[in-house]
Amino acid sequence: MATAATSTPPAWQRTLVCASLTARVPREMAAEVDAAAALGADVAELQVGCLDGFEPRRDLPVLLAQPRSLPVIVTYRPKWEGGQYAGEDEPRFEELLLAMELGAEYVDIEFKVADKFMKFLSGKKPQSCKLIVSAYDYERTPSVNELLNLVAQIRAIGADIVKISTTAADIVDASRMFQVLAHCQEKQVPIIGLVMKEQGFISRILCAKYGGYLTFASLEKGKESAPGQPTVSDLINKYKIRQIGPDTKVFGIIGNPVNHSKSPIVQNQAFRSVGFDAVFLPFLSDDLVEFLSTFSAPDYAGFSCTMPHKETALRCCDDVDPIARDIGAINTIIRRPDGKLVGYNTDYSGAISAIEDGIRASQSTDSTTSPLAGRLFVVIGAGGAGKALAYGAKEKGARVVIANRTFARAQELANKIGGTALTLSELENYHPEEGMILANATSVGMHPNVDGIPLSKQALKSYAVVFDAVFVPRETRLLREAAACGATVIDGLEMLIRLVMVQFKLFTGGMTAPERLMREAILTKTH
């Protein structure tokens, strides 16, 4: 299913960034409007139900006093729609009308009572105030036809702006909302269309590609008013939402988990630095096949694949780079202009070059040959990353040993590359020679399970070099304990720097990666 229309609609306009404010004191909420403006927001949503002891005639003049740094949406959500108001409809209607009369640029009312609210207003709404009519589905994301019918019903009531907020069970649910946004954009119907939860996160950014009227953001982490809401700063600085338009190409990292990934920070900065019209997003997905078949439009131009999809990706591609085919795992997919998917493996070159340079920096080696040549190279893990490390080490002349929780998988990989297989328990006492190299290609020790370690400290004493593919945290328990044993340690961030530079070149059709910028972004930014 193609989800993107790439021609610019005649009435396309930039999506506004709205900071949703939830302070408990009126003067604090008013101050948050200024803070939102300073961050670059276009609009502020005043969730007045969050105020302690809210008294409209006392508090609304404080909140709506002019001069005001941003236009505002006044929202007073009842409990039955996820808010705080527990009273009858009419007093709340009166308070929303007061907000209109005091100069609120927008007022938000729920679709379930919008007809009743319009009768209450009976023409009293000021021309300067736009009415947003909101429909929520906290269980699912309905079909495209159901959503379009809902848009028509909301429009028929007299809404100036349609707002539909649904819930994602899977990332592909966002594609239905994109089709609705694109349809409304074509018909010049102002619409806010968002999908909640982490699986719907991309809707909060890509609504800018499909002409969504605005997208909501929190003032800072921890102040979200809905699940999956990004911060104003992330929308503007990390995802460059101001630059996203109908022709923006979409890239991203597909996996589970993906929220720890630094790739969006790095690739978005790099794209912007070379003037490449693209955005890079985290795609939380458990089903790679369904994801690729859903987001199949030409603008979805390339993907980074991480756990657990690296081996499945091999079967999803129409063409595969020979090295990736030998490894049996893919971490990069490019969509060619003809729509065919081509798979690559940049883990291989990123990890091996990081290990080689780490050894060269700490030990005197022959510069004409790889410092891996002739060394015993132990890989923990037989998944996609393990395959890349095993294949790369073998190609550099190392003698490769594979240890894995499932011994049969270790054996399968060892047979494929001409190496040796061990169980993890056997690895604990494995010490046939000095100067061994250890590479962890599992997720053991990754945030949030930072106390995990794939091998005991006692066993680590047998290794001269230890590499960990985990990069969040940068210094894993494995690396910390290996360093205490006197080993040369190489972290996963160094591998990441190298592999994302190769990916950047593939994504952009051959542009040279801005190495210094990408290195600084990876080493200094946190996510």
Two tokens, residue 36 = 């939102």
The active-site residue, picked from 130, 209, 262, 310, is: 310
User: How far apart are the C-alpha atoms of 187 and 517, rounded to whole Å?
Assistant: 41
Q: How many Å separate Cα 33 from the centre of its chain? A: 27
User: How far apart are the C-alpha atoms of 441 and 465, rounded to whole Å?
Assistant: 14
User: How far apart are the C-alpha atoms of 84 and 48, rounded to whole Å?
Assistant: 9
Pairing of strands 332-335, 300-305: antiparallel
Question: What sign results for the dihedral spanned by CA atoms 513, 514, 515, 519?
Answer: negative
Ramachandran class of 497: left when φ > 0, alpha when ψ lies in -120 to 50, beta otherwise: alpha
310 is catalytic: yes
Residue 34: strand, helix, or coil: helix
User: How far apart are the C-alpha atoms of 124 and 111, rounded to whole Å?
Assistant: 19
Instruction: Kindly write down the DSSP assignment for every residue of 293-347, as one continuous string.
Output: HHS-STTEEEEEE-TT-TTHHHHH-SEE-HHHHHHT--SEEEE-TTS-EEEE--H
Two tokens, residue 100 = 């209109």
List of residues 6+ apart from 205 with CB closer than 8 A: 215, 230, 235, 239, 241, 244, 279, 281
Rounded (5°) CA angle 384-390-394: 150
Q: How many CA atoms lie within 13 A of 441 on its CB side?
A: 33
Adjacent-strand bridge partners of 467? 439, 490
User: How far apart are the C-alpha atoms of 134 and 193, rounded to whole Å?
Assistant: 10
Residues tagged active-site: 310
